């Protein structure tokens, strides 16, 4: 079994130091993914988009995804009155591939927007920051922490592609119709293993979360033993984003569901998944520090919490439709007209189809929210939300 021994000892120390010898799954997931030295995203273990990696993302399939996003960002700049600076704040930039595609395209095709642009990356992982800085050395990019951004200081767009799904989540279950939380503890056995135990919720925010969604787990159609996830970190993150934004947009792209589907009684084992070398499974207690752990995004929670935080909901759409509205269909048509070896043409066409495949990346959700727009600006529709006829 592949695991990081030092990280396991750190997790064990956290459990031992706690008063009840247990930690929430959110605390466990945070250590496993984000420990500054041994966490999956902080180490050399993370390998995004490559053949021998754990998973691939839309930017891994070529420059089209980033270029089409750049078209949307340029329109946002136009709607906002061509402000300078126009800030694009990418949150969780991976190895910098998407940033390269966006910046290169804007520089070549929308030089006025590029000249006004301030590109900012907010990244937790020191290892990924180093990789991003190496790859983006030809562009002017600012790396910062949330504490570096003043409240109400950003005019532009905050955006995240496959970020929220990796936020640490609380695990909950139902016992006799009552909401309970799943904790992580250790066994006295050798070798040491981590196991789950059930107890009272660690915070009243877990109950408040379902009140926000108007979901009643006391209803008798939820089975005993039902389990799922609550992403409180996503709400905290969105509050910070809303506070930093003065005028502009928030664009969130990820896999997920509306609350009615996420917490459907038949989805009785939640959405937690682990990714290890392009294979996925549901055991977060193996390959510790060597695998990614994710949970689907509850887009309804982001919309409702956004509204409470001052963000207006502009629209939600599937990624495939979003990209088609931005011109991916035209790119598909042009592939056959290009003078390239047939193998390259087929590879490009396959990549474009993967971006819009409704059973894969094309089925991801795209949520657009805004703040500070005038009535006229709010009345102008975004290209990506105009569903093609």
Give, as one character, the DSSP assignment of residue 58.
G
How far is the C-alpha of 214 from the C-alpha of 259, rounded, in Å? 10
What are the tokens at 123?
Answer: 């990244």
Q: For residue 69, which of 261, 295, 327 has the smallest C-alpha distance?
A: 327
| CB 368, CB 385: distance < 8 Å | yes
- Write out the chain's pLDDT in tens, 389 residues: 567 889 999 999 999 999 999 999 999 999 999 998 899 988 755 555 544 555 568 888 889 999 999 999 999 999 999 999 999 999 999 999 999 999 999 999 999 999 999 999 999 888 889 999 999 999 999 999 999 999 999 999 999 999 999 999 999 999 988 999 999 999 877 667 899 999 999 999 999 999 999 998 877 789 999 999 999 999 999 999 999 999 999 999 999 999 999 999 999 999 999 998 878 899 999 999 999 999 999 999 999 999 999 999 999 999 999 999 999 999 988 887 666 777 778 888 898 999 999 999 999 999 999 999 999 999 999 999 997 55
Q: For residue 314, which of 263, 233, 363, 377 has the smallest C-alpha distance?
A: 377
CA distances from 67 to 99, 110, 257, 326, 333 (A): 10, 11, 26, 10, 17
**pTM score:** 0.93
Strands of the sheet containing 279-281, edge to edge, are 279-281, 273-276, 292-294
**Angle, helices 205-213/232-244, rounded to nearest 10 degrees:** 70
Give the number of domains in the chain: 1
Q: Which domain holds residue 97?
A: 5-385
CATH of the domain at 55: 3.40.50.12710
């Amino acid at each position: 079994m592949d695991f990081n021994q030092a990280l396991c000892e750190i997790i064990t120390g956290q459990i031992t130091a706690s008063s009840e010898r247990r930690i929430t799954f959110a605390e466990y997931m945070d250590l496993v993914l984000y420990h500054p030295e041994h966490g999956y995203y902080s180490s050399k273990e993370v390998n995004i988009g490559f053949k021998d990696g754990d998973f691939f993302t839309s930017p891994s399939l070529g420059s089209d995804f980033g270029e089409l996003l750049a078209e949307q960002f340029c329109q946002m700049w136009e709607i906002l009155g061509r402000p300078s600076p126009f800030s694009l704040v990418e949150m969780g930039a991976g190895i910098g591939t998407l940033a390269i595609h966006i910046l290169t395209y804007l520089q070549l095709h929308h030089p006025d927007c590029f000249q006004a642009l301030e590109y900012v990356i907010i990244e937790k992982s020191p290892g990924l920051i180093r990789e991003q800085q190496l790859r983006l050395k030809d562009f002017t990019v600012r790396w910062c922490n949330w504490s570096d951004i003043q409240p109400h200081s950003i005019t532009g767009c905050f955006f995240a592609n496959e970020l929220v799904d990796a936020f640490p989540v609380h695990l909950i279950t139902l016992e006799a119709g009552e909401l309970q939380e799943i904790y992580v503890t250790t066994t006295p056995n050798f070798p040491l293993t981590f196991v789950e135990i059930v107890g009272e919720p660690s915070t009243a925010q877990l109950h408040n979360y379902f009140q926000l969604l108007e979901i009643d787990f006391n209803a008798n159609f939820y089975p005993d033993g039902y389990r799922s996830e609550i992403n409180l970190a996503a709400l905290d993150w969105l509050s910070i984003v809303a506070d930093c934004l003065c005028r502009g947009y928030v664009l969130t792209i990820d896999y997920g569901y509306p609350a009615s589907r996420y917490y459907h009684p038949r989805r009785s084992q939640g959405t937690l998944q682990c990714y290890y070398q392009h294979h996925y499974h549901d055991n977060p207690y193996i390959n510790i520090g060597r695998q990614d752990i994710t949970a689907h995004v509850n887009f309804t929670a982001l919309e409702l919490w956004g509204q409470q935080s001052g963000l207006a909901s502009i629209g939600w759409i599937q990624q495939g439709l979003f990209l088609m509205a931005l011109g991916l269909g035209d790119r598909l048509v042009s592939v056959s007209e290009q003078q390239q070896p047939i193998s390259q043409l087929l590879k490009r066409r396959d990549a474009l189809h993967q971006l819009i495949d409704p059973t894969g990346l094309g089925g991801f959700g795209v949520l657009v929210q805004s703040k500070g727009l005038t009535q006229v600006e709010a009345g102008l529709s975004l290209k990506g939300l105009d569903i093609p006829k």
